[in-house]
Structure 1
Amino acid sequence: MTFQDRTVAIIGGGSGFGLRVAHGVIAGGGTVVIGGRSQQRLAGAVAELGPKARAHAVDLEDRPSIVAFFAAVGSLDHLFVPAATYKVGPITALSDEDAESPFRTKFWGQYHAVKAAIPRISQDGSIVLMAGAAGARPLKGAAAYAACNSAIEGLGRALALELAPVRVNTVSPGTIDGHLWRSRPAEVYEAAFAHYSTLTALGRPGTEDEVAETVLFLMRCGYITGSSLYPDGGYALR
């Protein structure tokens, strides 16, 4: 299956994983509609992607905004929602509001995006949910975040049954050297990359392009549904 004459909606397509997936879709002959909160970032991404991309603002914590986004998208074939803003930390250190933040944007944001997309998505299309390897293999000090990722994987399996023949899968990356980590202080991401490298079979963090290739594979492969793939460098093997 190729992306020729196919439309892919990506909420969080202005940077990071989402932007890399958008490039892959366009390279495969498709068109993309990207969404996010920053109009400036969206405009920059559309300029980078070219005429086969368009953008509309959307806030995953604002349900009317989500509905309006999909009304602007119209019909679509694939959906990917990597956008999320949240705090991570130990249960004794996080406020209740911060502990709930992964669920507000990463879980419920994706849930409501899928719900709004259902009437518009083609029956031979797909949805790729964004979780994280911490759901299956948590690191110490991020219990609520790990639980959120596990919940997203469970949501993906359940929706694969409920929405069939639309395919629903989940991508659960490990630590990735990309936009999110590089926006943090150098001493933070360098320590995280060094530690994660000791935990993986491949001995390094991943790249945004490697995660994007996993997402594109799940969109293209017409006989995979209800699965979770882990681009994590073999973290489970150590």
Structure 2
Amino acid sequence: MSTTTMIVGGSAGLGLAVARQRVERGDHVIVTSRCEQRADRAAQQLPGPARGVGLELTEPRSFADALSEINRIDRLVLAATERGGAALPELNVDEATRVVTAKLVGYLELTRLLRPRFSAEASVVLFGGTAKDRPEPRSTLTTVTTQAVSGMVRTLASQLAPHRVNAIHPGAVGDSPRWASTPEPPGLARTPIGRLVTTAEVVHAVEFLLTNTGINAQDLHLDGGVTIT
């Protein structure tokens, strides 16, 4: 039986890159997006068996219906996020509620609903980010929610045992559309390796967390060492 990998937030960016790598290694892949049509388009461009599922992370009560046709999960990657940027004085309660619901309640409820469908060797990887360790004035919501990912990893690794749960915290990704054309991306000057990390490096790290059976309840920082500067 082929491995089934579900990538929440797999229709673009790092999530789509992970989806492509898993398809290329022979997995059946499920990619989600808040827009079902976008999820379907992403699945169609993958070079192997894949399908799309519409999933709105800010509406966790809708998850049960959206996941009703999924019977088995071997690998679960939670890569989706809800962006929000504001310093504390400009905090918008509606935006904050949306961001926290998506990243925290959404991740937890998805894991709760999918747990009965985990295979014996199933593993989970959550995406956080380096904002948890390097807060900036406008990263209030991002810092809070990515810091919470570390707490989720620990409690889920305990409650889902023997299934493994880990997190990856990428820094700025140099070849991503956001930074590829930026002459001086943030953090570049203080990155010990002298460059930003790449999409391929993030994908490789996710693969390591998914498949190395000895690593569990860990936060993997993939930032070229910028967090020590």
Aligned to 1:152: 149
Which residue of structure 2 aligns with residue 173 of structure 1?
170
- Cross-structure match for 2:59: 62
Structure 2 equivalent of residue 21 of structure 1:
18
Q: TM-score, normalised by structure 1?
A: 0.88
Counterparts of 1:10-159 in structure 2 under 5 Å? Answer: 10-159=7-156
TM-score, normalised by the number of residues in structure 2: 0.91
Letter in 2 for 1:208: T
What is the number of equivalent residue pairs in this alignment?
A: 229
Q: Distance in 1 between matches of 2:65 and 2:224?
A: 38
Q: Deviations over 1:25-46 (max 9, x none)?
A: 1122211011112233222212
Q: CA RMSD in A?
A: 2.1
| Higher-helix-fraction structure | 1
Q: Secondary structure at the match of 2:145?
A: helix
C-alpha change, 1:144 and 1:63, in structure 2 (3 Å) is closer
5+ residue gaps in structure 2? none
1-structure distance, mates of 2:187, 2:134? 12
How far is the alpha carbon of 1:51 from its aligned partner? 4.0
2:194 corresponds to 1:203: yes
State the distance in 2 between where 1:28 and 1:71 align: 26
Quote how far apart the aligned CAs of 1:179 are. Answer: 5.3
CA deviation profile, 1:192-231 (whole Å, cap 9, x unmatched): x533102311233222222121111111111111001011
Q: Report the counterpart of residue 225 of structure 2 in structure 1.
A: 234
Report % sequence identity: 28
Deviations 1:91-145 (A, max 9, x none): 1123222334431212221111111111111131101111111112323432332
The alignment partner of 1:196 has SS state of coil
Q: SS in structure 1 opposite 2:56?
A: coil
Residue pair 1:122, 1:166 contacting (<8 A) in 2 also: no
Summarize the Cα distance change of 1:107–1:180 in structure 2 as closer, same or farther, 3 Å threshold.
farther
> Structure 2: how far apart are the matches of 1:13 and 1:48?
12
Choose 26-35 or 93-102, whichever is displaced more.
Answer: 93-102
Structure 1 segments, 4+ long, off by >3 Å, are 177-180
2:172–2:197: 8 Å Cα contact kept in structure 1? yes
Could you say what secondary structure the match of 1:230 adopts? strand
Structure 2 residue aligned with 1:215? 206
Counterpart CA distance in 2 for 1:65 and 1:199 is 43
SS in 2 for 1:18: helix
Name the residue aligned to 1:190.
182
* 1:172 aligned counterpart, secondary structure: strand
